[in-house]
Each structure stands twice: as C-alpha cells, then as structure tokens.
Chains A and B, each alone.
Chain A
Amino acid sequence: MLIDTNVNLGSWPFTFAPNRTPAQLTKHLAASGITHAIVSHFGAAFQPEPTPSNRELLAATKKSKTLTPLPVINLRLANWRDQLAECVAAKVSAVKLLPTYNNYSLSDKVVGEFMTALNETKLRLVISMRYEDERHRYFALDMKGLPLADLKLFLKRNPKAHVLLSGIMIPEVNELAKKFKNFSIEISFCEWINSVEDLVKLLTAKRIMLGTCTPLLSTRGEVDKLRLSKITPKASQQISSTNAQQFFNL
C-alpha cells in the first residue's frame, strides 16, 4: 500500500501540468503504484477564497475510494470560521494552510485563534511550505517559500499540535529538527543523495510520509525516491502508508 500525501486537482496556471479528472488522477497515480492519495485543489491558492474549490474537491472525491480530500482554510479572510465549519460538516480528517499563497504569516494573531478553533474540531493540520521551487518557477508567480522563522514561531507556540509540513526542503528540515519534534514531513521537495535514508536518521521513519506534489513534479520520480531507498522494511512501510493512515485517520 502506497499513500501519497501531496496530490492536487485543478489547474496550475504557470505550467502545462494536466488538469486531471478524479478518475484520470487515480489512474495516473496507480501507474506509479500509489493506492491512495490525499488531495487538495489548486484553486485554493489562486482564487479569491477557497470555498468553491473546496466544494469542488469534496464533490470530486466523494465517491472515490482512493482519493481523500484535504481542503484549504484561508486565514486571511474574515470567513475562515465558516470555511472550517464547512470542512467539519464534510467530515474531513484534516485541513491545509497555504500561508504564502493566501498572503498571511504564521505569526499573525489569527493563526492562534485558528489553532484554538482547530483544537476543538480534532482535525489534523497540514502546512504547505511551497508548491514550486522558487529557483525555477515561472517568473509571473513571484512567490517565496514559507519563512522558516514564522514556522519556528508557530511550532514553539503550538507544542501539542503535531503538524505535517508539505513541500519542505532538506535544509529546512535540518534546521527545524534541531529544536522541534512536533512536526512530520512529506518528501516531495526533499532531494539530496540518499534523501530518505538521511531523513530517517534525522527524524525517524515515524515522522516521514510519501508525497509527490502531483501533477507539478514527476510522480514516478518521487515514488522511486522512496521505493529504491535503502531503509528497513518496517521504515518503508511506515513512510509508505502507516504514518499517513494514522495521521489522516484512513
């Protein structure tokens, strides 16, 4: 069983990445051995508010046995409590934040209010660091990665909230791992020689999950990073599926 924790529906306006239907996406993922995926919608990054794309995501995944929705909450907007309530009503297991794309900082006061509200829902939290490497993204989207200082402050302020960091790079993991244990990562933007082996040593396999950032990155390439890593069968199973099953309550 292989669970991908970073997959997206919708259009990315600055690449030729295909806007797949749920069925096409499932087929594409299956070709690389992925049996289940946690899916968000790109519309939440670019549209004025995420509710329409969240609803589209929920509808698209409703009948799917392989796609689990991960809606986005935009804390820059006054209606974030309504957004969250809609996610609770839809019985999702987790929500995602896109601070940079949605134009707010993790150090903003509203983030504390959100964490209090989230704690009451028991939903898990995914924080996206980036969707693209800023060194080779299209010039029309001048977007930096999530500032590490903000993330450190967030992790310090919320010691009991174990979050999944999506799109994080290895130097950032190295920096965070010095002080914090209340986070897990997915590996789509972690690439160095022996990436997974080194991350297991640094974090333990318990805090690592597969992520491919499909459709922006090569699904097969990202899967092979894990599949061909030299780690124990137990560690491989944890990263491939067990950790995601537990985190997303699958």
Chain B
Amino acid sequence: MIVLGDVLNYGGTPNEEQLRLINDETGGIQKMFPDYFVGFCYLNPNLGEKAVMEEVTRCVTNYGSKGIKLEIANSADEPCMRHVAKACREFNIPVLQHSWSNTNFRSGMETHSDPDDTTLFARRNPDVNIIMAHLVGIGYRGVIAAKGLDNIYVDISGAYPEDGLIEYAVEHLGSDHVLYGTDIPIRQSEVKIGAVLGAKLTNADRQKIFYDNTAKLLNLN
C-alpha cells in the first residue's frame, strides 16, 4: 500500500519545514510495516529546484521513497513542474498528481490540475511516468485526454464509485494503465475493491489493476 502522511495538514502550499514533517510522518509509518507500506515523497514545486531536489534526495535516502506525490500547491501545467520532472528522472520514480476535471471547479480550485494540465505535463516529459489520480474526478474527459500517452496511468481512488467508468478507462487506456487506489481514510477500500470486482473486466485485467501495474511501475518485485 502506498502511504502518505497528512499531506494537507498545513494547507495546500506547505513550506520546506512543513514538508519535512509530513514526509517524516510518512517515513515513520513505512518503518512500522516496511513489508506493507511504500512511501511517496510529498512536494511543493513552488519552492524551487533546490528545495525539491533536496527533499526528494532526503526521502529516497532516508526512507526509500518510491515516488513523488503532488497535491494542490500548483497546477500541473505550471513551469515549476520542471523541477519535479528532473527529480523523477534522477531517481527513476513516478509522480502521483492529484487531478480533477475543471468542469466542476469552484472558485479557489484553480490548482487542482485539470486532466488537460496533467496530460500537458505528461507530453512535455514523455520519459517521466505520471499517475493521474482520481478516475471519477477526472471523468470521461480525463480518460480521453490521457488516451495514447504511454507515460500516463490513472488510479481509481477518491469519489463515489461511478459505474462503468473503470471499464471505460480500460477500454481506452488499456488495463496496463489503470491502477487500484482508495483515498483512505476519506474513502473505503471495500467499495473500491467491490467496484473493480463488479466491473465487466477479465480476471487478468483485475489482476493488473489490483497489483501488477503498480508493482511494475514502482519496481516492487
């Protein structure tokens, strides 16, 4: 299970010290159950290249972080994302980008990364693997935006389990590009697992979604 500390504990734009506290919390959880939890390094790309590279280096060195996690500090189409791409290349790790379709954005949600923003980042950095979070949040237009981009994966975490969307993602992106996810504790694993088990998929597709794709992406084996 990929685990994160309380990433929004200090709001959407944490400073360097706050990031370290959050990532130390993640590392602490990892160390409790090292065979079960995999940690991602949480970043605020607005802090600049030096801060980004130092924190990723610290997380990978101290905790063996397997990826980078981005929330809502900035949109994925902004120039500061080049620092994230550099860190991904240097450490050969993917980035998990919070994303949501801006057709439902309210005021103040401009940094939630519309699928067009996240896929633009993917096109700018074809050698970086990107997990576009929240399949239901990005919706059908998110799947369409990601179609044909080999370095994009979508996870099914977050939101209510809209029926048919997992099948749509598998049809258009391929089952190799869909990942199981929950958003625990604000969502429930039983619902997400049930949504995959109830979807019209082959058992081979389910195996990929539940385990194989993520294991391959994070070099877990």
Contacts and interface: CB of A to CB of B under 8 A. Distances in A.
Interface of A: 15-18, 31-32, 133-139, 189, 191-195, 214-225, 227-229
Interface string B182-216: 00111110111111011100000000000000000
Interface string B130-172: 0000001101100000000000000000011111100010000
B187 A15 contact: no
Contacts of B191: 191, 218, 221-222, 224-225
Task: State the main secondary structure of chain A at its contact with B.
Answer: loop
Contact of B195 (A139, A220, A229): A220
A140 to B, nearest CB: 9
Contacts of B163: 17, 214-219
A137 B101 CA distance: 10
B9 interface: no
15 contacts: A32-B198, A133-B159, A135-B104, A136-B139, A193-B184, A214-B163, A215-B163, A218-B162, A218-B194, A218-B195, A218-B198, A220-B198, A221-B191, A223-B194, A227-B190
B221 interface: no
Contacts, number: 93
Given A16-B168, A219-B198, A220-B197, A225 B188 contact: yes
Contacts of A15: 162, 164
B168 to A, nearest CB: 7
Contacts of B198: 31-32, 218-221
B204 to A, nearest CB: 19
B219 interface: no
Contacts of B197: 220, 224
B107 interface: no
Report, nearest first, the 3 A-B pairs whose CB atoms are least far apart. Answer: A220-B198, A224-B194, A221-B194
B186 A222 contact: no
B62 interface: no
Given A220-B194, A220-B197, A225-B190, A189 B185 contact: no
Contacts of A218: 161-163, 191, 194-195, 198-199
A191 to B, nearest CB: 5
B187 A191 contact: yes
Contacts of A192: 185-188
A136 B190 contact: no
Contacts of A217: 160-163
A193 B136 CA distance: 18
